[in-house]
A and B are shown apart, each in its own frame.
Chain A
Amino acid sequence: MALLKVSNLSASYGPIPALRDISLEIGEGDTLAVVGANGAGKSTLTLAIAGAVRPTQGTIEIAGTDITGWLPEKVAFENIAVVPEGRHIFDGLTVEENLLLGLTTRKEGGGSAKAFDEVYSMFPVLQERRASQATRLSGGEQQQLAIARALLSKPRLLILDEPSLGLAPIMVDTVYSVLKKLKEIGVSMLLVEQNPARIGEIADHVIVLTGGSVALSGRPEILERQALEDAYFGTSKAATP
């Protein structure tokens, strides 16, 4: 059984459709990359899965449980963690307070001290700056904080929306090395990127969104350059393979 199964999902903002008839699956331990131009509906897809955008049609299942229409806080308790576009670090809270909120849905025991040790060993800079105001951190550090906050819940599925957006190349390296580590330890991921340059490093499967629909889908290597460009500019005539 797939960990995440999205079937015929549509969503809209008022009268304007943002997602049309999306179907996808993520297996246990797999990473699905979602690429597409600005405005293609990538963020809307992540928010719909997380319960923050109501679908108008279709279903979302987690390990066989239908979670369509659930409130975001209830979806979170199914151990789905989101690193949203723009990071959404809480202004006015310290690094440590931001992390503490990541523990809200954690079921595994061992106490918060152990959980904190785990993320601090993965992100030493967060330990150094744990008492700082979170929004004083650099962009790259804030991205690490957003990922660490998501990991504290021990997610079954980690959804990351453009984690490399706006980061210096060296920070993108840091983020991707963390994502690779997570993949090694078996965390399932849905990774959204506008720039597909690096997704080949960790994705098992890729879908390309155009105008809210799946324009292309397959293994990362079969998405060669031309097909991707066509999909980006909506000129693709090839249906999904």
Chain B
Amino acid sequence: MNFALQTAIDALSVGSIYALSALGIGLLFGIMRLINFAQSEFVTIGIYILMLSAGIWFPLAALGAICVVVVLALVVERLAFRPIRTADPATLLVTSFAVSYLLQYSLVLIFGARPIGLDILPDLARPFVIGSVRVPRIDIATIGATAVLLSAFALFLRKTRIGIEMRAAAVDFRMARLLGIRANRVIAVAFAMSGLLAAVVAILFAARTGVAAPTIGLELALVGFVATVIGGMGSLVGAVFGGLAVGVVTVLLQALLPPELRAYREAFVYIVVIAVLVLRPQGLFRGAAARERV
């Protein structure tokens, strides 16, 4: 029973990080059909900023990381993606790989390729002990932060004018522009939001793993991409649940697979992903991607 509860909390916590990663990728995909692999470097750079801010009061360090990553996302949009806005998705994808590698190797040049330890909020590593159940505080913090952030996003997208514009642009960008909605503004806000998500993922992931490395964000972006695919590309709700699902499946496999098979956990995750795509090629949640757009 305790094992089950601990596993459930663990699964929800990993799923939360994946859900935030997926939302950052799903948002840009929904609006501009861009699969942004540089999202992984947004996370990685956030982690390095936290590493550099060692010793600074945590809320300030966190705010600093958020600001740097949001500005970075806006700069990447302006310099790399705006000039090729109308290019086909393949060109956008290749560009996002290029940006991703550029940022990753810049980190290698500056900090070296070796992982560097960092220690933010060491208190979070200690567990809550309730009776015989030990729950890591980082799990509670992760689930809580995710719940708050997702609620704030949902409110933003439903209640603000720019949020409604973004939802409209995600389903039918050309129609939105015909109504006078400014493409540049909607896309810039989407990049800023994906930067914010990446920074929060960076904070949660850094607190969990305690290392900074140039490729640390890679797995998260990959999982985020997989999650948006199984959630149904173009559906933000789908991306969030896709991320949660991948996290839960990963943790359950880790817990339930016999030890000799655990090393192949990822392979089993991808088998589940392939099964989903074979059974429901449009994703678990119907997205807008299948519809015509310009």
Contact = CB atoms under 8 A, between A and B. Distances in A.
Interface of A: 50, 52, 71-73, 76-77, 81-82, 84, 88, 90-93, 97-98, 100-102, 104-105, 149, 153
B208 to A, nearest CB: 34
Given A91-B288, A100-B164, A105 B175 contact: no
A60 to B, nearest CB: 15
Q: How large is the interface on B (under 10, 10 to 19, 20 to 34, 35 or more residues)?
A: 20 to 34
Q: List 5 tightest A-B contacts by C-beta distance, closest first.
A: A76-B180, A105-B180, A104-B180, A88-B175, A72-B177
Interface of B: 161, 164-165, 167-168, 171-172, 174-183, 288, 291, 294
Contacts of A102: 179
B177 A52 contact: yes
B177 A90 contact: no
B180 A84 contact: no
B182 A90 contact: no
A93 B180 contact: no
A76 B178 contact: yes
A92 B30 CA distance: 13
A73 B177 contact: yes
B179 A105 contact: yes
A51 B151 CA distance: 37
A92 B171 contact: yes
Contacts of B172: 88, 90-91
A35 B109 CA distance: 63
A147 to B, nearest CB: 13
Nearest to A97: B164
Contact of B174 (A52, A91, A97, A100): A52
B166 to A, nearest CB: 11
Contacts of B176: 90, 101
Contact of A91 (B161, B165, B171, B180): B171
Contacts of B174: 52, 72, 88
Contacts of B183: 71, 73
A19 B183 CA distance: 26
Nearest to B235: A92
Given A52-B294, A88-B172, 8 more contacts: A71-B183, A73-B178, A76-B179, A91-B291, A92-B171, A97-B167, A101-B176, A102-B179
Contacts of A81: 179
Nearest to A72: B177
A82 B178 contact: yes
A228 to B, nearest CB: 30
13 contacts: A72-B174, A73-B178, A73-B180, A73-B183, A77-B180, A90-B167, A90-B176, A91-B291, A93-B167, A93-B168, A93-B171, A153-B179, A153-B180
A93 B179 contact: no
A72 B178 contact: yes
B177 A76 contact: yes
B181 A104 contact: yes
B164 A101 contact: yes
Contacts of A153: 179-180
B167 A50 contact: no
Contacts of A84: 175, 178
Nearest to A152: B179
B177 A71 contact: yes
A91 B170 CA distance: 10
Contact of B178 (A50, A97, A98, A100): A50
A73 B181 contact: yes
A91 B293 CA distance: 13
Contacts of A71: 177, 183
Contacts of B167: 90, 92-93, 97
Contacts of B164: 93, 97, 100-101
